[in-house]
Every structure is written in C-alpha cells, then in structure tokens.
Amino acid sequence: MNKSRQKDALKNLIKAGKIKHISALEVFELLRVENPKMSIATVYRNLNLFVEKGLLLKIEGAGDEALYDDTIKPHAHLICVKCGEIEDLDLDISDSILKSLREKSFDFTNYDLSIKGHCRKCSSGAN
C-alpha cells in the first residue's frame, strides 16, 4: 500500500477515533470537510484496503449498508430495530463456542454478532 493524501486523511480519522460504526457515506462526508475533491469511489477503495490490512473492522449485519469501526477487536453490536442506535458490547467469544469450533475443525478468524432488539429509550415507550 503506497501513500496518498487520501489514505493519510483516512488514517487520521482512525487515529482521532472518528470511525465508530459509521457508513462509507458518513466517512465520505468527514473526509470531504478537508478535501472537497474526495471521491466516493476512493472512499470505498480505501475502506476495503484498510479492512484487508486489519486497520478497520467492517460490520455487515447491521442493515443495508456496511459499517466501519476503528475498534478492530471483534465485538458485538446491540442494534435497536426502532431508532437504529448501535451500541458496542465487549465480548470474548466464549470457551464453549471455541471448543465447538475446534471439534468441527473450523479455523476461526472473525465474527460478526448483531444483537437486535429495543434500546432502553425505545423499550421504555419514551420514543
């Protein structure tokens, strides 16, 4: 991966912790602030590269569009089906699951756990 102004800008967003389960389009908007000529194609290209390199986590179970996260350790997401809010849930994949995977000779590399339901606000009827 060579250098470019556009990749540096994305790296900076990551360093600044600005990428918390947001869509490619939202990343695009952030990048456009500094560089109005940024292309959406470049955003998709570089997001994919960064995911391959392990610098970003891609979350695919949260709706129509993929979300990107600078927290690269796999973790679960609580997704409110009413208001759409997404909250992280730290979670080590449990020993019993790892054991099952071993029994099946499945070489685990990653997981994507989306837990759907209603968040506090929405289940309290306030929303």
Chain residues in the site for DNA (CB under 7 A): 1-7, 23-25, 35, 37-42, 44-46, 48, 64-66
The answer to whether the CB of 77 falls within 8 A of the CB of 86 is: yes
Candidates 4-12, 14-22, 34-42, 109-117: pick the segment binding a copy of itself (CB under 8 A): 109-117
Residue 41 contacts which entry, a copy of itself, DNA, none (Cβ below 5-8 A, type-dependent):
DNA
Residue 116 contacts which entry, a copy of itself, DNA, none (Cβ below 5-8 A, type-dependent):
a copy of itself
Report the distance separating Cα 119 and Cα 115, nearest Å. 11
Phi, psi of 123 (to 5 degrees): -85, -15
Enumerate residues 44-103 that contact a copy of itself by CB under 8 A.
60-61, 76, 78, 81, 87, 89, 91, 93-94, 96-97, 100-101
Q: Max CA-CA distance within the chain?
A: 52
Candidates 18-26, 34-42, 47-55, 111-119: pick the segment binding a copy of itself (CB under 8 A): 111-119
Phi, psi of 14 (to 5 degrees): -65, -50
Residue 78: enclosing H or E segment and its boundaries?
A: strand 76-80
Instruction: Name 89's bridge partners.
Output: 76
The answer to whether the CB of 45 falls within 8 A of the CB of 23 is: no
Q: Which residues bind a copy of itself (CB under 8 A)?
A: 60-61, 76, 78, 81, 87, 89, 91, 93-94, 96-97, 100-101, 104-120, 123-124
